[in-house]
Structure 1
Amino acid sequence: MSASPLLSAWIDGVGLIAPGLPDWSTACAVLAGQDAFASAPSVLPAPALLPPAERRRASRVVRIALASGLAALDHAGLDPAGVATVFSASTADGHNCHALCETLASDDQRVSPTRFHNSLHNTPAGYWSIATGAMAASQSLCAHDASFAAGLLEALVQVGSSAASCTLIAYDAEYPAPLAAARPIPDAGGIGLVLSPTQGPRSLAQISVNLSDSPVTALADPQLDALRLAIPALRGLPLLELLATRRAGSAVLEYLAPLSLQVTVSPC
């Protein structure tokens, strides 16, 4: 198919938390083939920026979103309070959804207000604003397994239209049984990318995207590719592999069928 008009930006920071990949530094060595991948449960840092009451209520979805986004902004050396955000997830808070279903199936069907507000798809964005004091624009979206690519497109549009930085925070977490049978995500995973309109001292690479009908890029390591397929937010791993290897090239990411998203990377 003919290429659509390009969107482009500079990547100034990366955050990653995934099974066996606890941070971007570790992931760089694994994705570049310097260290072997060893699967392990995701370690979700406590959301220290939240007040105690909100910290106690923060679910795994909130914790993975905050941790991956804050890691990316720390890598970029930016204050999260002043940077626009795009939150993108294929699902919502599975554990909270399970608890709501249990309540509705019980004799006492009164739903806790806290349970209800934590069931909203933009709950992580709300906790983000509480934690960081951010007043910048924020979007929350969902496109099932295409959510990483959809979020990347939205963040690039925000950068292009505002001429200001924007942080993409793509994340997912598991559902408990019996919902896990219908949506079998094994663990939490998140990718944060700080995108800027111009090259800066911390820029890692320039990226540009266009819609494509090419096959999606798979990772050569079968364990890493299984991880890419298991957690929708990690559909962005082929892009991170190019960043980790500091290699110019393209990666084709899953988008809304029959389309895919081709991302071209030019390292600094």
Structure 2
Amino acid sequence: MINFNIAAWRAWAPGLESAADWQAWSQQPEVLAPSDAAPDVSFLPAMQRRRLSRLARMAFSVGWPLAEGHEALPLVFISRHGETPRTFDILRDLAADQPLSPTQFSLSVHNAVIGLWSILRGETSEMTALAAAGDGLEHGLIEACGLLNEGAPAVLLIVTEEQPPEAYAQWIDDVPFPYAVGLLLTPGEQWQLSLATCTSVPVKTRWPHALELLRHMHGEPTTFQHAWKNRVWNWQRTP
């Protein structure tokens, strides 16, 4: 079992930016219409903004405000699928015998976002990029709580997924729309998370775990479960 506090949070999806937007969505969740909208990252210089994909922009838009005022803030970045649009473009260029862009390749790797974060913020704290399964949120929380237990006063956790190209639709079916969720975690007993093994076929949640967490943060139930394969994650929130 691990314990932690969520001191602050932010989330972004096309048309969902404020806490009120997410509260309304949590009460009546629905799949958002396809959109090319991207979050506002005007706090970054224009030259640096141009290098950021929408995935990176989403991560920066939720993480940057949470990191303000915190020095030496460790970061745990989680994305199951990563930069699928970039990698698809690279594969398409390969298939067409076109020269590859070194910039596209360097920004397509899974830890590119935390590398850019470190450069743009001048941050040298410990950072981890995880490519987990559907319960990446929980695996990221284990990593973050390990850092808290080692003495970090706070840890920033960011979960983000980009809408994959249509060519991947047959294999990637767990991204209902582009989204990013940022959590500023601190030591405490506000939340408890434990793991159990399921011997029967578990019931998967309708929404990705990070979005399910937002729903429960805006609801009344203080206990809930997230299941993935044979793992059942038991959540409990102090009222």
TM class by smaller structure: 0.7 to 0.9
Using the alignment, how far apart are the partners of 1:60 and 1:208 within structure 2?
32
- For structure 1, the residue ranges without an aligned partner over 5 or more in a row are 1-5, 199-204, 219-224, 229-233
Aligned-partner residue type, residue 252 of structure 1: Q
- For structure 2, the residue ranges without an aligned partner over 5 or more in a row are none
Aligned to 2:46: 52
Matches within 5 A, 1:145-224: 145-184=134-173, 185-198=175-188, 206-213=190-197, 215=202, 218=205
Using the alignment, how far apart are the partners of 2:172 and 2:230 within structure 1?
22
Contact 2:14 2:38 in 1 (8 A): no
Using the alignment, how far apart are the partners of 1:217 and 1:236 within structure 2?
13
Displacement, 1:160? 1.8
Displacement, 1:243? 2.1
Superimposed CA distance per residue, residues 177-234 of structure 1 (whole angstroms, 9 cap, x where no aligned partner): 3233332435311111111014xxxxxx81111102365574xxxxxx4xx1xxxxx3
Aligned-partner residue type, residue 194 of structure 1: L
Higher helix share: 1
Superimposed CA distance per residue, residues 28-60 of structure 1 (whole angstroms, 9 cap, x where no aligned partner): 2442x3xx4563456431322433233112111
Matches within 5 A, 1:115-134: 115-134=104-123
SS at match of 1:175: coil
Whether 2:62 is the aligned partner of 1:68: answer yes
Using the alignment, how far apart are the partners of 2:226 and 2:10 within structure 1?
18
Q: CA RMSD in A?
A: 2.5
Using the alignment, how far apart are the partners of 2:20 and 2:203 within structure 1?
25
Using the alignment, how far apart are the partners of 1:174 and 1:248 within structure 2?
30
Using the alignment, how far apart are the partners of 2:19 and 2:120 within structure 1?
22
User: 168-177 vs 129-138, which deviates more?
Assistant: 129-138
TM-score between both structures, scaled by the size of structure 1? 0.77
Using a 3 Å threshold, how does the CA distance of structure 1 residues 254 and 47 change in structure 2: closer, same or farther?
farther
Using the alignment, how far apart are the partners of 1:41 and 1:176 within structure 2?
12
Identity %: 27
Aligned to 2:237: 265
SS at match of 2:81: coil
Using a 3 Å threshold, how does the CA distance of structure 1 residues 105 and 238 change in structure 2: closer, same or farther?
closer
